[in-house]
Structure 1
C-alpha cells in the first residue's frame, strides 16, 4: 500500500513540475517609473527622478499618486532651470520639487471630482486641488487622469509644481 501511495505522490509531483515549467512566467505590471519611462512625454521627469535618486522609491510598493509634468511643462520653465536643477549640488532642491508632485495613497479623479482639497505631499507641504471643473493642482491642469500603475496612479499635468 505505501509503495502505491509513494508512486502516486511521485507521479503527481512530476506532473505539477512539468505544468509549472510549461506555464509562462507572469510579468509584473508596470509601476509608476516604468510607465513614465515608456511614455515618451516624460523624459525630463524621468531624468530628474533619476538625478534625485528617487527611482527605487517610486518603484516601491506605494501606493503613490504622482502629478506628472510633461516635457513641455518642464520646457516652459525659465531657460536653464532644468539644467541647473539636474546638477548634483542641487539634488536637495530637485528632490523637494519632485516630492511636491507626489501624494501618499492612490487617488483617482473620481475621488477629487466636485471637491476643493488641501493635500499633504511627500515633501510635507500641501498642494491645493480643485476638482470642481476638471481637476487643477495649484495652477496646473490635469490633462490626462487615472493612468493606473501597479503601485499607484499618475495624473498628467501641464505645469511644474513649485513648492
Structure 2
C-alpha cells in the first residue's frame, strides 16, 4: 500500500510541477505530503512557501515525519503544537537563492549549502550509471546524518523541491 501511495504522490508531483504557478505549499499538498503541509500550517508559515520562494526545499515524506515522531516518543499533535520547534525544523529544509537541481550536485563530493537560518547542509550525488544515481543530504552538527532524495527536481514556480526520506533536524 505504501508503494502505491508513493507512486500516486510522484504522479501528483509531476502534474502539479507542470503548472508554473504552483507554489511549494501547493506542490506539497498535491503530492500528499500531508504532515509537511500540517507542519507548515501549524507553524504559521504558509505565506513563506508561496510564489516568492526562490530556492530549494527538501520536503520530508509522511513516513519521515512518522519516523521522527516515533524517535522522539511524542505524538503528531504534540509535535504540531510546538510552533517554535516547527519553525526551526522547517527553516532547516529551505535553501534560498538559485534553485539547486540534482544535476547541479557533484558526484562523490559533499557540497555545503546554507539553510534559511544559515545552518549548513551537505549534498552529494552518487552512482555511475545515469539510470542508477541519486542524491544524499547530510545534516546535523557535523553533517553526520543522512537523508536520501526519493523524488528529485520537482519545479514549484521559482523553487525546486526534492522529496526526502528523513526530517532534517537542526542542532537545537
1:107 equivalent to 2:100? Answer: yes
Q: Does the 8 A contact of 1:59 with 1:151 survive in 2?
A: no
Deviation at 1:127, TM superposition (A): 0.9
Q: Map residues 51-70 of structure 1 onto 2, 5 A cutoff.
A: 51-70=42-61
Evaluate the alpha carbon distance shift between residue 145 and residue 47 of structure 1 in structure 2; reply closer, same or farther with a 3 A threshold: same
TM-score, structure 2 as length reference: 0.73
Q: Map residues 89-104 of structure 1 onto 2, 5 A cutoff.
A: 90-104=82-96
Q: Does the 8 A contact of 1:31 with 1:150 survive in 2?
A: yes
Unpaired segments ≥5 residues, structure 2: 1-18, 128-133, 139-145
In our comparison, the structure showing a higher alpha carbon Rg is: 1
Q: Secondary structure of 2:121's partner?
A: strand
Q: Map residues 40-79 of structure 1 onto 2, 5 A cutoff.
A: 40=32, 42-77=33-68, 78=70, 79=73
What is the alpha-carbon root mean square deviation over aligned residues? 1.6
Evaluate the alpha carbon distance shift between residue 128 and residue 81 of structure 1 in structure 2; reply closer, same or farther with a 3 A threshold: farther
Evaluate the alpha carbon distance shift between residue 94 and residue 148 of structure 1 in structure 2; reply closer, same or farther with a 3 A threshold: same
Query: Which segments of structure 1 move beyond 6 Å, counting only runs of 4 or more?
Result: none
Normalized per residue, which structure has more helix? 1
Q: Identify which of 112, 116, 125 aligns with 2:119.
A: 125
Q: Map residues 5-44 of structure 1 onto 2, 5 A cutoff.
A: 29-40=21-32, 42-44=33-35
Q: Does the 8 A contact of 1:116 with 1:132 survive in 2?
A: no
Deviation at 1:132, TM superposition (A): 3.3
In structure 2, the residue matched to 1:16 is: none
Unpaired segments ≥5 residues, structure 1: 1-26
TM-score, structure 1 as length reference: 0.76
1:144 equivalent to 2:129? Answer: no
Q: Secondary structure of 2:35's partner?
A: helix
Q: Secondary structure of 2:148's partner?
A: strand
The 2-side partners of 1:52 and 1:118 are apart by 27
